[in-house]
Amino acid sequence: MLLEIAIGDAYGAGFEFCGREKIMRSNTLESYVPHELGIQAGCYTDDTQMSIAVAEVLLANSDYSSDAFADAYVRCYKRDQRQGYAKGLQGLLDLCVNGADLRQRISPESRRNGAAMRSVPLGLIADKNVLAQAASEQAMVTHNTAEGILSSHVVALMSHALLYDKAKLVELPDFILEITGFILRGDWAAEVECDALQTLHAVNTALQANRCMSTLLLDCVNFGGDVDSVAAIAMGLASLTPEYVVDIPASLVNGLEAGKFGSSYLRKLDVALAGRYPVLSAHLVRQS
Ligand SMILES: [Mg+2]
């Protein structure tokens, strides 16, 4: 789960809001590409780091409060400062010493996709009511808006349906509609802004159209725009269903950043999550 999120994030990061010609030239899956704003090839960004933070909250105990999530976001950033955050949030994270500090300083009124991008791990929570509450609590730290909270709930529910209900991909939109009233589009074709709801439509469109992780990655990047978040969420969800063939090129599996919080750390965290949430175990076998 986290490994695939990171691969999607790191691959997409090279193309985030880049020109169409770079996508045409370099979206080949041959290798990670660097981003002109300073993200090195193979390095993941905020999407994965905040998903790690959510995963660490899920592993710690059953405190799914906004304060617990805020503490995790600050802790994960402080120990491993990295590029890719929105400037405003990164500035705040630089200033803050803990979650309470962040919550005091932030104006959490964003309708962007930051709450959705870190929500795949929330699908591990078995009880759907607890999951909804956790999605809301984690979203309101930075995205305390109807769109921000809904986007987190939708991603968490898609993840949950694949893990616990063994849902078919094609069933996901009806499942989401039934629980949230939100219509997930399957025909997104435009560039994806940082917008929470656009991101959901793009993720669903790419997820429904493919059955191989390789072509899924290509499609996510081909949208253009905020493609690292689209690819991170889509790859995280794809890792949870046997309908998806795991055919990520070796160059991307091996090219993901090493180091203290790199690929080995992500694999270990996935194993720890599977220990706590056995429903994830079957999907880790496919990873190796
Ligand atoms: Mg990002």
Domain of 92, CATH number, reads 1.10.4080.10
* Mean pLDDT of all residues in 68-92: 95
Q: In whole angstroms, give the CA distance from residue 68 to residue 90.
A: 19
Q: Is the pLDDT of residue 21 over 90?
A: yes
CA of 37 to the centre of ligand 1 (A): 12
Q: In whole angstroms, give the CA distance from residue 205 to residue 108.
A: 28
Q: What is the pLDDT of residue 286?
A: 72
Phi, psi of 75 (to 5 degrees): -60, -45
Look-up of token digits 């949950």: 160
The answer to whether the CB of 262 falls within 8 A of the CB of 43 is no
Q: In whole angstroms, give the CA distance from residue 107 to residue 109.
A: 6
> Tell me: the pLDDT tens digits for 178-201?
999 999 999 999 999 999 999 999
Structural domains counted in the chain: 1
What angle is formed at CA 121 by the lines to CA 117 and CA 122, rounded to 5 degrees?
95
Which residues form the domain of 57?
2-285
CA of 194 to the centre of ligand 1 (A): 10
Q: What is the pLDDT of residue 288?
A: 58
Q: Is the pLDDT of residue 135 over 80?
A: yes
Burial category of 260 from C-beta neighbours within 10 Å (exposed 0-12, middle 13-18, buried 19 and up): exposed
Cβ < 5 A residues, ion ligand 1: 45-47, 84, 228
Q: Which residue from 95, 93, 67 is spatially nearest to 80, judged by alpha carbons?
A: 93
CA of 47 to the centre of ligand 1 (A): 5
> Tell me: the pLDDT tens digits for 36-47?
989 999 999 999
